[in-house]
Amino acid sequence: MKYSEYKEHLRKIADLETAIAVLHWDKEVNLPIHGAGPRSQQIATLSGMAHEMGTSEKFGQQLQALSEDQSLSKEEQKNVALTLKDYTRKKKLDLEFVLAMSKATSAAYHSWRKAREENNFDPFQEPLAGLIELKKQETDKLGYEEHPYDALMEYFEPGARVADIDILFKDVKSQLTLLAAKIREKSNIDNEFLYQKYPYQKQWDFGLELLKNMGYDFDRGRQDVSPHPFTISFSPMDVRVTTHVDENNLSSMAWSCIHEGGHALYEQGLNIENFGLPLGQATSLGIHESQSRLWENNVGRSRFYWSAHYSSLQKIFPDQLSSINLDQFYQGINKIEPSLIRIESDELHYHLHILIRYELEKALIEGNLKVSELREAWNAKYKEYLDVEVPDDNHGVIQDIHWAHGSIGYFPTYSLGSFYAAQFFEKAKSDIPGLENQIAQGDNKALLDWLRKNIHQHGRMYTANELCEKVCGEPLSLKYFMDYAEQKFGEIYHL
């Protein structure tokens, strides 16, 4: 097999996976309710075809032979090595299982939508239980050395292990809980101005301007509305985002746009010449999340960022914001207070939301928690970790879409992303003199160029840990996030 034939084969698989992605995008944006059943079958059919192409015995033999070809360049060798690794992993899952998983996730998604409409976990419970059983089977098929959850995290954060994540979250819990407790001793900040009536269309138009200012290329993407904001890429030439608009909560739309915009910039920054190949894919979801959290929090919740945008926001919403100055706005959008909804949480308590999901997922996969017990366990942990009472299921166990997608093992990447983001942004400030002043003038080009050069262009050339060491000269360290949080919130709350 020549390298050119290898590329052609992978791109045919990518074409199928892109078609599946288009169907998923349409499912969450446009699909009429009665289209759910046929759509599930369509996705399952294409998933089976892609799996067969990617796991055929002939392709495996060709990959093995190609991996021994010393005439290939360093990048070509890396592509082949990563593809062989992916092939070996996929080969462990038979076609029957892949089709069963595809149908189960489609059924779970539509049941989740129904549960959300009814504000009731019950319609989602049985499909989720079936999905969890399949996930347990998947861990056995894939294999693992220490913990079954490791096998599922490998999809999203290659190399991540429960043993290491447990230690990280232990530090997160102790250090963030202490900082949050200090803040709660202070008089709290008023952010009621965020919860007035903000007309839909004006919010939507402002969100588009925020995306454009970040550098999101609308000639290679678009924004739509979905129940849960997401980013999806069909190629670097077509990367789409969705947002959620709540007319009574300005935060919901604005930071969803910025967050998803960060994901989209990463996808638009991948090398189109490597489309369909490993080096045309993101390093890991932790690194992916670092891009969204960097833009959302390190930039998008900073005073210097809103120095460039707040006057425009005031002009759009004069009745709501004319009496609120920039300092009040900055403090308001950074209010620290336990909450029920993960995507609306502040930067500190957010990681307790993630910890709760991580612990519940582990228990489900271990078999120490039944899906029928999930609502009760969720509510108990929110009381224990955040001291809040969960009033209903939409504010509780069915608020996230991830389990409906079968994305078990995904949640830890959110916290990893925040920690990578703090470390990367500190390095960017060191490399770009006056970066914060540039952003305060509405100029994000230098930051985006830095991210393109140091993060986006590499694809999967490096693991997350290798990339962090290459960019920052050291491994991931919680220290950078804690330094950032203590300085920022220390100033806001006069600690």
Instruction: Catalogue the active-site residues.
Output: 260
Angle formed by the axes of helices 464-472 and 412-431, to 10°?
A: 20
The tokens describing 388, both together, are 């809040």
Is residue 423 within 8 Å of 477, Cβ to Cβ? yes
User: What long-range pairs does 159-163 form, CB within 8 A, spacing at least 24?
Assistant: 159/463, 159/464, 159/465, 160/286, 160/412, 160/416, 162/362
> Considering only CA atoms, which of 396, 392, 407, 417 is closest in space to residue 361?
407
Could you identify the residue written with the tokens 């009496």? 323
Q: How much of the chain is helix, strand and coil, in % rounded to 5?
A: 70, 5, 25
**Cα–Cα–Cα angle for 232, 198, 491, rounded to 5 degrees:** 80
**Cα–Cα–Cα angle for 396, 399, 404, rounded to 5 degrees:** 120
The values of phi and psi at residue 446, to 5°, are -60, -40
The total of other beta-carbon atoms located within 10 Å of residue 431's CB is 13
Q: Which residues contact 385 (CB under 8 A, 6 or more apart)?
A: 352, 355, 356
